[in-house]
Amino acid sequence: MKNFKKFLILILSVLVLSSCSSKDGIKRIKIGHGLDQLHPVHIAMEYLAEKAKEKSNGQLLISVYPSQQLGTERECLELLQIGSLGMTKVSASVLEGFVPDFKVFSLPYVFKSDEHKFKFFESETGKQLLVSTEKFWMRGLNYYDAGSRSFYTKAKPILTPQDLAGLKIRTQESPTSVKLVNALGGSATPISYGELYTGLQSGVVDGAENNPPSFYTSRHYEVCKYYSLDEHTSVPDVLLVSTVVWEDLTPQQQQWLQEAADESYEYQKILWAEATTKALEEVKKAGVEISYPDKNLFIEKVQPMLEEFKSEPRVYNLIQKIKKMNDAE
């Protein structure tokens, strides 16, 4: 399996080699990711490409490849690290395997509102966290809003933590996400996003957790007819550029790319709000029962999990900084 993985990476490397190729002074950069073309994050990355081309007068040409065309999320990260892929988008939960501070995003009920969340993204602390990935050969350019994650299931709604008992719930490949679902009483089952639809159909898992636009665009609502908006976490996506590619750009080109990323972040917030409203309307039309459980029941259940992070001072201090940002409002 290990040799096969290396072989696959080699093949993908050949496919995306020249991910930051130069011709006549033009830089061509490829972005690979796993979302479909209707997803607001994909649309935001297309907007980034337009802005980068506009700002650079055609010196920066960015192509976006959705739907795992260039590999899975994990494969794209590995290609990014060796410079064979220019950019990618991953969930912040995945990055905790590289930078432990990213665990904070997978912790339950850390953010109290969208405004609180955006305040952190745009703060100096949030920006420092983005670039802390550089020692792993990738640089965070911006966050993309991914709303709040809630449970969707096949057999019954999740109205209390007790309703998760005995259910296999798909989570991201994040130790903190696994710990959260287990703490709430479910049986966390990490599987790749691309395999989730068939996993739900076949009974490998009984449900999953994600935000409304992803629940809708993935068509998971065709299998899961119960969506319980407990909104336990607010895990953003992170746009990353290979440090190999970043360092190959001139300071001016770096500035153009960062400015384009910042503008796409603002645009994506608007897209996300619209997509969330539409997603909930459409899944309801498709027969999904939407519930609004008492969040206090879930908050009480996971409180011991948050207290455990006192043994990890860096993460715990980050939790406190985020809390103070909300208190200051």
Q: Kindly report, residue by residue over 275-321, the tens digit of the pLDDT.
A: 999 999 999 999 999 999 999 999 999 999 888 888 999 999 999 99
Q: Kindly report, residue by residue over 107-124, the tens digit of the pLDDT.
A: 999 999 999 999 999 999
Q: What pLDDT is attached to residue 12? A: 45
Q: What pLDDT is attached to residue 16? A: 44
Mean pLDDT of the chain: 92
- Write out the two tokens for 144: 């993309």
Task: pLDDT band for 327, please (50, 70, 90 cuts).
Answer: confident
Q: Kindly report, residue by residue over 200-213, the tens digit of the pLDDT.
A: 999 999 999 999 99
Mean pLDDT calculated for residue range 131-136: 96
Three-state DSSP class for residue 137: coil
Percent of residues, the chain, with pLDDT higher than 90: 81
Segment among 33-42, 147-156, 161-170 with least mean pLDDT: 33-42
Judged against a pLDDT cut of 80, whether residue 22 lies above it is answered with no
Q: Give Cα separations from 211 to 31, 189, 221, 232 (angstroms).
A: 23, 18, 12, 10
Which of 107, 78, 108, 104 has the alpha carbon at shortest distance from 90? Answer: 78
Q: In this structure, how many other beta carbons lie within 10 angstroms of the beta carbon of residue 38?
A: 12
Three-state DSSP class for residue 10: helix
In terms of phi and psi (left: phi > 0; alpha: psi -120 to 50; beta: otherwise), the region of 68 is left
CA-CA-CA-CA dihedral for 174, 245, 75, 103, to nearest 10: 0
Mean pLDDT calculated for residue range 26-30: 95
Task: pLDDT band for 97, please (50, 70, 90 cuts).
Answer: confident
Judged against a pLDDT cut of 70, whether residue 19 lies above it is answered with no
Task: Give, for 208, the enclosing helix (H) or strand (E).
Answer: strand 207-210
Q: What pLDDT is attached to residue 15? A: 46
The DSSP call for residue 108 is T
Task: Give, for 188, the enclosing helix (H) or strand (E).
Answer: strand 187-190
Q: Kindly report, residue by residue over 42-63, the tens digit of the pLDDT.
A: 999 999 999 999 999 999 999 9
Q: What pLDDT is attached to residue 21? A: 62
Q: Kindly report, residue by residue over 211-236, the tens digit of the pLDDT.
A: 999 999 899 999 999 999 999 999 99
Please give the Cα distance from 70 to 67 (Å, whole number).
Answer: 8
Three-state DSSP class for residue 58: coil
Mean pLDDT calculated for residue range 158-170: 98
Judged against a pLDDT cut of 60, whether residue 3 lies above it is answered with no
Domains of the chain: 12-146+236-278 (3.40.190.170), 149-234+285-327 (3.40.190.170)
Task: pLDDT band for 4, please (50, 70, 90 cuts).
Answer: very low
Judged against a pLDDT cut of 60, whether residue 38 lies above it is answered with yes
Task: pLDDT band for 20, please (50, 70, 90 cuts).
Answer: low
